[in-house]
Amino acid sequence: MATTTQQGDADRKHTVTDSTGVGSRAREEEEEELQVREQEDRRPHPDGKRQQSELLHKLKDRILLGLVLGLVLRALVLLVLVLLVLVILVLVLLVLVLLVLLVPVLEFGHMERRQSLEEQLKCPVCLDVFTEPLMLQCGHSYCRCCVRSMTMDLLGQLQCPVCRCAVDGDNPPPNVSLARIIEALQEVSVPSEAQLKSCPQHHNPLILYCEDELMLICGLCGSIGSHRGHRITPVSSVYGRMKNESDVLKWVVRKEFGELRRCLEVEEVGFMQQVETSAAVLILSLQNQTDQLNQNLNRLQEAHNTLQDLSNEGHLDFITVLFRESQELHQREERLFSSVNFKPGFNHNDVKLTVWRRLHRKVLPAPEMLKLDPQTAHPMLELHHGDTVVVCGALLRRLPDNPERFIYSYCVLANPGFSSGKHYWEVEVGIKPKWRLGLIKGTTSRKAKLVKTPEGGVWLIGLKDGVYEAFTSPRVVLPLTVPPRRLGLFLDYEGGGLTFYNSDNPDELGFIYSFRLEVQGKVYPLLDVCWHDRGDNKQPLALALPHRVQLLPLSLPLPHKQDK
C-alpha cells in the first residue's frame, strides 16, 4: 500500500512536470515569435529605406542651399559695405584734394591782399610797416623814428622826402587812423589763443617746455611722443625764468641805447659849438671888413675931393696924384677881400663819417683785461709789468716742460680763454719790426712748429721785413699805408669772426683784416714776439690798457679817410 502510494505520488509529480514543461515551451515559442516579429518590425522594408534616404538627401540639399544663399547674402552685404566705404574714401580724398588745392590759392590770395595792403602801409623812408606814424603838414606820413632822423634847418623845418615841400618838423601830430588800421592788421595776423595753447598732434594743453628743441609741448609729447627723454620743464617756471632774462635784456638794451644817445648828444653839442664858434668868427671878420670898407669909402670921398681941388691945378700934378691914389686903393682892395673866407671848414659827409666811426668804437665790447700766462711762455720769453709785457730774452731759461708751454715758437698765450660771446682786446706793437698776433685753439700742439693757417687752428696777422701779412693759405699781403702801433682784435665767437683794427686813434678804428672761423672749444689770444735777431727785434709786445675815449673837443675841418 505504501508502494502504491509512492507510485501515485511519482505519477502526480510526473504529470505536473509534464504539464509545466509544455507550458514553458509554449511561452518560449510565443516569446520567440514576439522577438521574430519585433526583429521583422525593426528590419526596414526596402521601399521605406529608399524613401528615407531620399528624404535625407533632400534635407541635405536644402541645408546646403540655405548655407549657400546665406553666404551669398553675406558676400553681397560685405560687397555693398566695401563699395560704400570706397565711395566714402573717394569722396574724402576728393575733398582733401580740393582743400589742398584751394587752401594755397586762398592763402595766396589772402597773402597777396595782405601784401598789397602792407605795401600801402609802408613808410617811404624805412620801407617797413609804419610804427607810431606821424603826419606832416603836406599830408604824408612817416614813422616817428624816421621823422626824428630827418635833418631840420635852423628854422626847425624839414623837407618831405616824397613831395620835397618844406614843412614844420617840430612835434608833428600822430596819424591816429593809420595807427588803428595797422593795429587791426596785426591783430588779424596773430593766431588765436586756442590754436596757440593746444598740441596739434594730441590736442592737449601745452603745459610743458622742451629745453632741447625750445618749444612748447603737451604731457603726451614728453612721455610717449617725439620729445621723450628730452629735458622738459613746466611752462610756469620757464616763463618766470624767461621773464627775468627778458627784463635783464631790456635793461641792457635800454642802457646801451641810452649810452649811444648820450654819445650822440655829446657829439651834437660839440659840433654845434664848433659851428657857432666858426659862425661867430666869420661874422666878426665880416664886421671888421665892413668897418674897413666904410673907412675906405671915407678915404675915397676924401680922394674925390682932393681930385676936384687938383683939377684946377697943373695936369702933371693931377696925373701923379691920381696914379698914387689908385695904387693905394687897389692894394687896400686886395687886402680887404683876400681876408674874407666864406667856407665853413667842414662838410656834412665829414660830420657823418666821424660820428659813425665814434659810434662804431662805442658799440664794441669793453676791452678785456687780459694777463699773459707764464705757464705757456717759451723759455726765452720774459714777462714784466704784472704779466702784461713780453720780451724775447738773451738766455734760454730752465723751466718745467708742462704741456701748455711753447717749445719751438716764441709765443705766449693770454688768459682767460674764450668759448662764447663777443670780446675785444688791444695789443701794443710799437715800432717792433717783426711780430705776429691773433688767436689759437686750445687743443693745438705747442711742442712743434706752429702751422700758421686757419686749418691748423691758428689765425694770425704779422709784420716781417716791412710787409704786413695775414697768415692764410696762401698768405695775403695787407696794404697798410700807415704802420699801426696799436692793434685791436674783436672776436665774435657765435658769429664766427675775428677782426683786426688799427686802434692808434681811439675815435677812429681802421679796419685791417677779418677771418672767418668755425671753432668749438676754447680759444686763446696769442702773442708771437719772434726771435730777438741779435738785438734788432728786441722791442716788447704789451697788452694795452683801454683808451680813454675823448669825444670833445673836436678839431675842424675833419679829414677824409677810407679804411681799406
DSSP code string of 21-76: HHHHHHHHHHHHHHHHHHHHHHSPPHHHHHHHHHHHHHHHHHHHHHHHHHHHHHHH
Across residues 232-244, what is the average pLDDT? 78
105 shares its domain with 154 = no
pLDDT of residue 331: 60
Residue 538, pLDDT > 80, answer yes
Please tell me which residue, 184 or 481, carries the higher pLDDT value.
Answer: 481
Residue 508, pLDDT > 50, answer yes
Task: Return the H-helix or E-strand segment holding 528.
Answer: strand 523-528
pLDDT of residue 312: 57
Residue 20, pLDDT > 70, answer no
Task: Return the H-helix or E-strand segment holding 525.
Answer: strand 523-528
232 lies in some domain: no
Of the candidates 460, 364, 367, the residue with the CA atom closest to the CA atom of residue 411: 460
512 shares its domain with 420 = yes
| Residue labelled with grid coordinates 708771437 | 528
For the chain, give the number of residues: 564
Residue 85, pLDDT > 70, answer yes
- CATH code: domain of residue 159: 3.30.40.10
Across residues 92-105, what is the average pLDDT? 74
88 shares its domain with 129 = no
Please tell me which residue, 144 or 468, carries the higher pLDDT value.
Answer: 468
Cell matching residue 246: 627778458
Residue 316, pLDDT > 60, answer no
Cell matching residue 560: 677824409
The residue among 187, 208, 226 that closes a domain is: 187
pLDDT of residue 146: 84
Q: How far is CA 555 from CA 285, 295, 330, 550, 552, in A?
A: 20, 35, 36, 12, 9
529 shares its domain with 444 = yes
Residue 466 DSSP symbol: T
Residue 498, pLDDT > 80, answer yes
Residue 151, pLDDT > 80, answer no
Range of the domain at 488: 365-543
pLDDT of residue 21: 58
Across 187-196, 403-412, 538-547, least confident range: 187-196
d(CA 202, CA 225) in angstroms, rounded, equals 9
| Residue labelled with grid coordinates 666821424 | 354
56 lies in some domain: no
How many C-alpha atoms does 349 have within 13 Å on its Cβ side?
4
Are 202 and 193 within 8 A, CB to CB?
A: no
152 shares its domain with 276 = no
Q: What proportion of the chain, given as a percentage, has pLDDT over 90?
A: 19
pLDDT of residue 22: 57
Starting at the edge strand that comes first in sequence, how are the strands of the sheet with 497-502 ordered?
381-384, 389-392, 541-543, 422-428, 486-492, 497-502, 510-516
Across residues 155-164, what is the average pLDDT? 81
Residue 156 banded pLDDT, cuts 50, 70, 90: confident
415 shares its domain with 496 = yes
Residue 435, pLDDT > 90, answer yes
105 lies in some domain: yes
Q: What proportion of the chain, given as a percentage, has pLDDT over 70?
A: 72
pLDDT of residue 555: 33
pLDDT of residue 215: 86
Can the peptide bond before residue 416 be classed as cis, meaning omega within 30 degrees of 0? yes
Are 118 and 129 within 8 A, CB to CB?
A: yes
d(CA 529, CA 538) in angstroms, rounded, equals 9
183 lies in some domain: yes
Are 129 and 142 within 8 A, CB to CB?
A: no
The residue among 187, 213, 230 that closes a domain is: 187
pLDDT of residue 362: 60
pLDDT of residue 23: 61
Please tell me which residue, 522 or 327, carries the higher pLDDT value.
Answer: 522
pLDDT of residue 505: 81
389 shares its domain with 501 = yes
pTM of the model: 0.42
- CATH code: domain of residue 532: 2.60.120.920
Across residues 268-280, what is the average pLDDT? 80
Of the candidates 514, 544, 523, the residue with the CA atom closest to the CA atom of residue 427: 544
427 shares its domain with 458 = yes
pLDDT, tens only, 344-377:
445 555 555 556 556 655 656 678 889 999 999 9
Q: How far is CA 351 from CA 148, 270, 554, in A?
A: 18, 11, 10
- CB neighbour list of residue 541: distance below 8 Å, 6 or more residues apart: 389, 390, 391, 427, 428, 429, 432, 435, 437, 527, 529
d(CA 193, CA 176) in angstroms, rounded, equals 27
Across 53-57, 93-97, 337-341, least confident range: 337-341
Across residues 107-117, what is the average pLDDT? 60
- CB neighbour list of residue 137: distance below 8 Å, 6 or more residues apart: 165, 167, 168, 172
208 lies in some domain: no
233 lies in some domain: no
pLDDT of residue 191: 45
pLDDT of residue 329: 58
Residue 552 banded pLDDT, cuts 50, 70, 90: very low
d(CA 273, CA 179) in angstroms, rounded, equals 39
pLDDT of residue 14: 52
Across residues 92-116, what is the average pLDDT? 67
Across residues 276-282, what is the average pLDDT? 83
372 shares its domain with 511 = yes
91 lies in some domain: yes
pLDDT of residue 117: 67
The residue among 113, 142, 169 that closes a domain is: 113
Please tell me which residue, 248 or 205, carries the higher pLDDT value.
Answer: 205
Residue 199, pLDDT > 90, answer no
d(CA 344, CA 247) in angstroms, rounded, equals 47
314 shares its domain with 179 = no
391 lies in some domain: yes
d(CA 69, CA 300) in angstroms, rounded, equals 142
Across residues 203-220, what is the average pLDDT? 86
279 shares its domain with 150 = no
How many C-alpha atoms does 166 have within 13 Å on its Cβ side?
6
pLDDT of residue 426: 92
394 shares its domain with 482 = yes
Angle at alpha carbon of residue 388, lines to 383 and 391, rounded to 5°: 40
User: DSSP labels for 95-164?
Assistant: HHHHHHHHHHHHHHHHHHHHHHHHHHTB-TTT-SB-SSEEE-TTS-EEEHHHHHHSPP-TTSEEE-TTT-
Please tell me which residue, 550 or 414, carries the higher pLDDT value.
Answer: 414
Long-range contacts of range 339-348, CB-CB < 8 Å, 24 or more positions apart? Answer: 339/285, 339/289, 340/285, 340/286, 340/289, 341/282, 341/285, 342/282, 344/275, 344/278, 345/278, 345/556, 345/557, 346/274, 346/556, 346/557, 346/558
pLDDT of residue 289: 84
> What mean pLDDT is reported for the chain?
77
Number of folded domains that form the chain: 4
